[in-house]
Chain A
Amino acid sequence: MSDAGIVIVGSGHAGLSTAETLRRRGYPGRVRLVGDEAGLPYQRPPLSKQFLKGEWDETRLIQRNAEFYVKHDIELIQGHRVIGVDPDHYSLELDSGEQLTWDKLVLTTGSRLKRLPVPGEGAEGVYYLRTLAQAKALRAALTDVTRVVVIGGGFIGLEATAAFVDAGKQVCVLNGADTLLPRAASALVARYMASLHQARGVQIENGIAVAAINAHNGRVLDVALQDGRTFPADIVLVGIGVEPDATLAEAAGLKCKDGVLIDELCRTSAPDILAAGDCARFRHPLYHRLVRLESIQNAIEQGKHVAATLLGDSEPYAAVPWFWSDQYDTKLQIAGLADGHDLEVIRGDEQGGSFSVFCYARRRLLAVESINAPADHMISRRLIQSAISPTADDAANPNFNLRDLL
């Protein structure tokens, strides 16, 4: 092995977790973390929450301070994009033209936004939300607008909607699917979240198709639907999802399938190249199928796994996926993956705003979505991890203590 050490591409949550874990666990070689965003690595979740609401300033988003990287000898190469990887020669090229060599390469390139493929999408006043730079632009634009149209009924669109409403804006959500949170939540939770927003005056239009964003003098005017309706907008936020950023991996000839394919130790199809986080797809041992997760939990834990594999001390990755979303005063927490469920069982009090939905497939517990019920969430994670499925009757019975099953 040379002294080139480990190079990590992408300084988001997974990349930073990898670098930190390498140092915590005593990796003695060189660690370089390359990222194309400027500044110190920061947290994404607050961008659509505390930051957008104006509750947090930029410094609170920063993950670790500058001294941390010096102290742990993590070389940060920020503001540079990796434009090509050569697996045969163990090298990569930065957009500055500089070449770096590596002994082991870690791809943590995350996701990139899906753009809305309609005319007018590039008009002034149309925003997307993935990066700090985008969040800053959106936050700044909010000061003198009243009408906001949000395109997309996923988590980011809805969290931003809550922030807009709190700031006194009039918000309309145009959602292509028939329910909110189409891939991510059960029908019950989707309906509950819709009612939360509607109770605050948000207009929600499901099952729509956007035809164009109309602009006047280059500035957005309204959003036109294919059914002929138009929705006036001072600004538009597009949140129609992301796709894995596997550009580098694909170009380098690594096996990809809607994401970089990795095995249970986070290794790609190329020797000495690993991957983690939003960009990676893997077979989840609890669900027996290929999954790609877009969550902090997965980014951090897979990053730790990559580090363990690099240190020759890894176990197959089998962590229960979990996720959260905060909207208004409501806390939604999801343990597991609900796709393919055939039964939804409610535990708790839906009217009272504190309940969980247990999602089963053929009597097996797949996922639990909790609304303002954090203890249910924490216990559910452990149930799913241990492959324990309470009966539907026990799950629905508030007097049955789920902990007794553990």
Chain B
Amino acid sequence: MVKITYIEADGRSYEIEAPEGWSLMEAAFHNGVEGIEAECGGACNCATCHVYIDENYLDKLPPIGPTEEEMLECTAAERRPNSRLSCQIELTAELDGMVVDLPETQI
């Protein structure tokens, strides 16, 4: 299991454990983290699973693919250097303990 902390824009936080192989979006979605909408259920079609990643973990993530790159240009909240779409990040043991900030809005 991989432990992730999600922090909502209003400061509320959730500590969630999810199996390796799931996406960073799914772990949040199953547990009802509100700041992730994930309308398309992880198909990289909606950009409503936008998150800001803890800088210390950025280089442990898979690179941004071409579809994610285009979708990140269209997020509702501003794109920052640490912006990612959480459905495109698979949980691995290396990500254990990661903290993820959620944007003000997804839509």
Q: A residues within 8 Å of B by Cβ?
A: 20, 24, 43, 45-46, 49, 60, 62-65, 67-68, 71-72, 296-297, 300, 324, 326, 331, 333, 372-375, 378-379
Contact = CB atoms under 8 A, between A and B. Distances in A.
7 contacts: A64-B32, A65-B31, A331-B43, A333-B45, A373-B70, A374-B71, A375-B71
Nearest to A331: B67
B29 A63 contact: yes
Interface string B29-40: 111101000011
Interface in B62-104: 67, 70-71, 73-74
B73 A60 contact: no
Given A24-B34, A374-B67, A374-B71, 19 more contacts: A43-B41, A45-B40, A46-B41, A49-B43, A60-B26, A64-B31, A65-B32, A72-B32, A296-B39, A296-B41, A324-B43, A326-B43, A331-B44, A331-B45, A374-B70, A374-B74, A378-B70, A378-B71, A378-B74
A62 B71 contact: no
Interface of B is mostly: loop
A324 B32 contact: no
Nearest to B68: A374
B39 A300 contact: yes
A324 to B, nearest CB: 4
A46 B26 CA distance: 13
Contacts, number: 58
B32 A71 contact: yes
Contacts of B71: 374-375, 378
Nearest to A301: B39
A17 B18 CA distance: 23
A62 B29 CA distance: 10
Contacts of A64: 29-32
Contacts of A67: 31
Contacts of B34: 24
A71 B39 CA distance: 22
B-side interface size class: 10 to 19
Q: Which 10 A-B pairs have the closest CB atoms?
A: A378-B74, A375-B70, A68-B32, A324-B45, A374-B70, A43-B41, A65-B30, A374-B71, A374-B67, A64-B32
Contacts of B31: 64-65, 67-68
A324 B47 contact: no
Contact of A374 (B26, B30, B39, B45): B45
A379 B74 contact: yes
A303 B45 CA distance: 20
A378 B40 CA distance: 13
Contacts of A24: 34
B57 interface: no
A63 B33 CA distance: 12
A23 to B, nearest CB: 9
A67 B43 CA distance: 25
Nearest to B21: A60
B67 A45 contact: no
Contacts of B29: 63-64
Contacts of B45: 324, 331, 333, 374
Contacts of B43: 45, 49, 324, 326, 331
B103 to A, nearest CB: 16
A372 B39 CA distance: 19
Contacts of A331: 43-45, 67
Nearest to A40: B30
B89 to A, nearest CB: 15
B12 to A, nearest CB: 12
Nearest to A304: B107
A372 B67 CA distance: 8
A305 to B, nearest CB: 13
Contacts of A300: 39
B35 to A, nearest CB: 11
A374 B44 contact: yes
